[in-house]
Amino acid sequence: MQVAFETLGCRLNEAESEAWARRFRAQGASVVPVPQADVIVLNSCAVTGEAVRKSRQLIRRLKRTNPHARLVVSGCYATLHPGEAAEALGVDLVVLNRDKDRLVEMTRHLLPGGDSEPDHCPYPPSRQQAFIKVQDGCRHRCTFCIVTVARGEERSRPIEAVIEEILELRESGVQEAVLSGVHLGGYGNDLGLKLTDLIEAVLTQTELPRLRLGSLEPWELNEDFFSLLSHHRMMPHLHLPLQSGSDTILKRMGRRCRSQDFIRLIEKARSHRPDLTVTTDMIVGFPGETEQDFEKSLQLAREVGFAHIHIFPYSPRAGTAAASFPGQVEAGTKKERSRRLQQLAASLRQQILSRHLHQTQAVLFERARDEEGGRFFCGYTPHFLRVKVNACDGHDLTNSIRMVRLKAVNQEGDQLLGTLATNSAFS
């Protein structure tokens, strides 16, 4: 079987798609580009109305690109609109979120001979970073969020299963893992465990060089968690969704964290890791958001100094409480506020990048890219800042961690330019 993957949406979807690819390979399948595939697996998204549109659009495009392949669609769009995916869009198999763990088994039955046992295939060399799904579902009900409907109740993977997956990935060459979940901070609630138990196990039972965390809701982080930030293998970057800087809007959103709580959390985290970078999500134009509310969001963003802001103009989602709230903000206002927040986010990012100039930091490199002016490698610092290096020495830096001297910010203001440090050893 030759299988292709397409993924939309969050890091949890990335983690699931990567896990499916590893399981297909272990059963003898090959992962190939879409035009060559017998089966195409799409992990869809429905976090916003735009995400739903993109999911539908991608399904149509995949069918045009390879009309002979069987098309399997899973993820939040498929779970919320299974009939539409199967009947209107002609998907061969819809796998609901609750059945994702059986997707590989279900897909094998689509093709002739799919019931036969394939030859075993060892794990192939992997890319340098792996997303590890450790948790699914959420018990909270933010008024704008459809994902909790699509993903269901909280379910955590046992620590032993996560450790086993990381050890296998490490053996295949993975240098960095990202622990991911819908409500990552709630890991272990159903197992009598905490997220810190999982992190400590990964740090003590594996030799993974770099560990990152996916998106973390900012209301369940305790002193034990902050203490772990100082560990040298924990990368100094957190993604903490704020959504709004206005307490009035946060309350209407059903969020469990107010603006000053968020500020105190950042202060506590940076008391343990002063060089910590923080990224966030913010929703613009939530129902009832006034100009004063929006200004509070801008002010809080300046105070924290976010390295990056994912900006989402609010879109009503059927099945959520906020869809029927009064005070829906007109499209033009949302567009203008998004533009202003994007300008601020770009300025803050340039400030963060400039703060790291003239430092020497460890960079985990991706594959080379040929561009005008030569061959370049890109990678990420521990602070999740993108770095570009000219591969003029002819070395292949792929999947290596090298010390890099950070010398300039690029013209676009979104990444650092550097050179390999003298006597920088491969790892």
Q: Identify each DSSP E strand in 228-276 by its residue range.
A: 237-239
DSSP state of 234: B
Angle formed at CA 88 by CA 146 and CA 102, multiple of 5 degrees: 60
pLDDT at position 117: 36
Three-class SS state of 25: helix
Whole-angstrom distance, CA of residue 317 vs CA of residue 145: 8
pLDDT at position 114: 47
Domains and CATH numbers, the chain: 2-108 (3.40.50.12160), 125-235 (3.30.750.210), 243-355 (3.30.750.200), 360-420 (2.40.50)
Give the pLDDT band (50/70/90) at residue 427. low
172 Cβ partners below 8 Å, 6+ apart?
123, 124, 125, 126
pLDDT at position 118: 36
pLDDT at position 393: 67
Q: What is the mean pLDDT of residues 148-162?
A: 90
pLDDT at position 116: 37
Do 151 and 138 touch, CB atoms closer than 8 A? yes
The per-residue pLDDT for range 245-263, each reduced to its tens digit, is: 999 999 999 999 999 999 9
pLDDT at residue 40 above 60? yes
Do 403 and 421 touch, CB atoms closer than 8 A? yes
pLDDT at residue 210 above 70? yes
What percent of the chain stands above pLDDT 90? 67
Provide the whole-model pTM. 0.82
Angle formed at CA 11 by CA 202 and CA 298, multiple of 5 degrees: 110
Q: What is the mean pLDDT of residues 41-50?
A: 91
Q: Are strands 70-75 and 93-95 parallel, antiparallel or unpaired?
A: parallel
Do 383 and 371 touch, CB atoms closer than 8 A? no
Q: What is the mean pLDDT of residues 354-369?
A: 92
Phi and psi for 118 in degrees, rounded to 5? -75, 160
pLDDT at position 246: 97
Give the pLDDT band (50/70/90) at residue 366. confident
pLDDT at residue 378 above 60? yes
The per-residue pLDDT for range 99-120, each reduced to its tens digit, is: 888 899 888 777 654 443 333 3
